Structure 1
Amino acid sequence: MKKGSVVDAFVEGARNGYQIAVHSTIPNIIFAFALIQVLELTGALVLIGNLFRPVMVIFGLPGVAATVLMGAWLSMGGGVGIAAGLIAAGELTGIHATILLPAIYLIGSQVQYLGRILGTADIPTKYNLHMFLISLINAALAMLTMRLFV
C-alpha cells in the first residue's frame, strides 16, 4: 500500500473526478440537451408524450417524462440532462423532477452496467431480465412514493 499525505490523496481524487466529468458526465449531459432539442424540433417529443401519457399520469407526470427514464436507462448523466432540457423547455416542473430523481438513480445506466459489471461478474445472462425488472419496479415504487410527498 502506497503511503502519502492527505493532500496528495485529495489532489489525486480531484484529478480522477475531473477526468470523469470531462470524459463522461459532461458529454452525456450535452448529448441529452441536444437530443431534447431534436425531439422537440421534429415533433417526436409530442408523439412520445402522447404515447406514454397513460402510464406516466399514474406517477403524476406528463408523458414526455418517459424520455427522462429512457435516457437514464442508458446513462444517469443523460437522464439528468434530459430532465434539465425538459425543464428548460417548460415541459417539466421542479415537482416533476423531484418525482423523477430517485427513479433516475434506481434505473440509471443499466445498459452500461450490463457490460461493465454483469459481464465481468460471471452472472448467468438468464438473470439479466430479473435484475432489470427489479430496478424498474424499485423506480416505479420510488416515483409513487415521491408523488405522495410532493
Structure 2
Amino acid sequence: MAEQVKAKRGNVIDAFVDGARNGLKIAFNSMLPNTLFGFTLTIILNLTGLADVIGVVFAPVMRIFGLPGVAATAVMAIFLSMGGAAGVIAGLFTAGQLTEPQVAILLPALLLSGAQIQFMGRLLGTADLKTRYYPHMFVTATLNGCVAMLIMNYFIV
C-alpha cells in the first residue's frame, strides 16, 4: 500500500517568501558567480591582449555568423557555463567589442547549446545515460546553436 504524503499547508505569503528565498539562493550561489567569472575573464583577456589574438585567429569562422573574431571567446564560454557566457557577452558588449545586433545573434546559441560541460556532469551523469551518446548530444546542441546564429544573422542584416 502506497504511503500518503501529507501536503504542507500554509498561506500564500509563506509560499511566496519561501520561493523568493530559494530563488535568491540560486542567484547568489550559482548564477552570480558564473556571470562575474565571465565578465572578469573578458577583462583579463582584453588586458593581456589575448582577446586580440583570439579575434584574429577566429575572425574567418565568426564572420560566417556576422560576428567579430573576439566573439569566439563567448562561444567557447557557452560550452562551459551559460552564466559565464552571459558574463563574457556582457563584457564584450560593455567594452564596445560587440554591438547590440551581434549580442542578439549570440543569445539563441547561448540558450540552445549552452553549458554542455556542466550538463554532462550534472544531468547526463546522474541520469545514467550511456557515455557513447554524449557526442551525439553535444554535436546536436552545437549544430542547433550554429543554425540559430545563421538565422539571426540573416534576419538582422
Provide TM-score, normalisation by structure 2.
Answer: 0.92
Counterpart secondary structure, 2:8:
coil
1:54-75 per-residue CA deviation (whole Å, 9 max, x = no partner) reads 1111110001111111112111
2:42 aligns to what?
36
The CA distance in 2 between the partners of 1:67 and 1:4, in whole Å, is 47
2:32 aligns to what?
26
**1:70 correspondence with 2:76:** yes
**1:104 correspondence with 2:110:** yes
1:14 to 20, 26, 34: 20
1:120 aligns to what?
126
2:86 aligns to what?
80
Instruction: Report the aligned-residue RMSD.
Output: 1.0
**What is the Cα deviation at residue 106 of structure 1?**
1.1
The CA distance in 2 between the partners of 1:140 and 1:5, in whole Å, is 47
**1:136 correspondence with 2:103:** no
- Percent identity of paired positions between Structure 1 and Structure 2: 54
**What is the Cα deviation at residue 140 of structure 1?**
0.5
2:56 aligns to what?
50
1:146 aligns to what?
152
Aligned residues: 150
The structure that has the greater radius of gyration is 2
The CA distance in 1 between the partners of 2:12 and 2:72, in whole Å, is 44
Stretch of structure 1 that moved more, 66-75 or 3-12: 3-12
**What is the Cα deviation at residue 17 of structure 1?**
0.9
Could you list the runs of 4 or more consecutive aligned residues of structure 1 that deviate by over 6 angstroms after TM superposition?
none
2:9 aligns to what?
3
2:67 to 58, 61, 68: 61
The CA distance in 2 between the partners of 1:16 and 1:38, in whole Å, is 32
Counterpart secondary structure, 1:3:
coil
Gaps of at least 5 residues in structure 1 are none
1:93 to 96, 99, 103: 99
1:37-70 per-residue CA deviation (whole Å, 9 max, x = no partner) reads 1111111101111111111111100011111111
Gaps of at least 5 residues in structure 2 are 1-6
1:1-33 per-residue CA deviation (whole Å, 9 max, x = no partner) reads 323223222211111110111111111111111
